[in-house]
């Protein structure tokens, strides 16, 4: 009887250790995949642009980073501001690239989010992000009151779509409040 208990204990211990090892390995693989995804997003956000991070004093809580953008010839082409707004389940960080005059969008890219895969896929799609290119700031959703460039809602991702627009407008408000040129 004692021998059988000892064998069961050894079996349970071996099974537990195997499960822990499997979880550790899959966690490492998952983290590597997430890092590759984030690297690809950063590359997409600054396609054909070299960015130099600027040191800016007293950044608002919803602004994470500010970059000066240069084309391949070294000419200044504008700014990129990483702004954050609350989505349905998490903060949505958006890289907002604007012209040197700080009032026209060049492009946006979703830098990071913790939304569900279904919702996150929707806000990362070109059907939302490409609507912003060339638009004058600020932006609003189609059907909302006020004067601003109109963006179409993404059905099924209302809160997350709102977070993207809020982050874009937060970047604009930040840039508008800073009259100094950083370049």
Whole-structure pTM value: 0.70
For residues 8-22, one letter each, b for 16 or more C-beta atoms within 10 angstroms of the residue's C-beta and e for the rest, the string is eeeeeeeeeeeeeee
Q: Cα–Cα distance between 171 and 94 in angstroms, integer?
A: 9
- 3-class secondary structure, 79: strand
DSSP-derived letter for residue 104 is B
Tens of each residue's pLDDT in the chain, 183 residues: 677 767 777 776 777 777 666 666 555 555 555 454 444 444 444 457 899 999 988 999 999 999 999 999 999 999 999 999 999 999 999 999 999 999 999 999 999 999 988 888 888 989 888 988 999 999 887 766 666 667 777 766 788 889 999 999 999 999 999 877 676
């Amino acid at each position: 009887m004692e021998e059988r208990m000892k064998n069961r204990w050894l079996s349970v211990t071996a099974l537990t250790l195997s499960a822990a090892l499997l979880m550790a390995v899959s966690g490492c693989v998952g983290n590597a995949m997430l890092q590759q995804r984030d690297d690809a997003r950063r590359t997409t956000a600054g396609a054909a642009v070299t960015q130099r991070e600027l040191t800016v004093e007293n950044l608002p809580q919803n602004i994470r980073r500010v970059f000066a953008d240069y084309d391949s010839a070294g000419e200044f082409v504008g700014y990129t501001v990483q702004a954050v707004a609350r989505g349905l389940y998490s903060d949505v960080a958006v890289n907002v690239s604007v012209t040197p005059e700080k009032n026209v969008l060049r492009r946006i890219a979703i830098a990071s989010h913790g939304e569900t895969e279904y919702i996150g896929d929707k806000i990362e799609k070109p059907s939302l992000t490409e609507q912003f290119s060339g638009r004058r700031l600020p932006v609003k959703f189609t059907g909302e009151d006020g004067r601003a460039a109109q963006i179409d809602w993404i059905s099924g991702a209302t809160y997350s779509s709102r977070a993207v627009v809020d982050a874009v407008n937060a970047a604009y408000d930040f840039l508008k409040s800073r009259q100094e040129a950083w370049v």
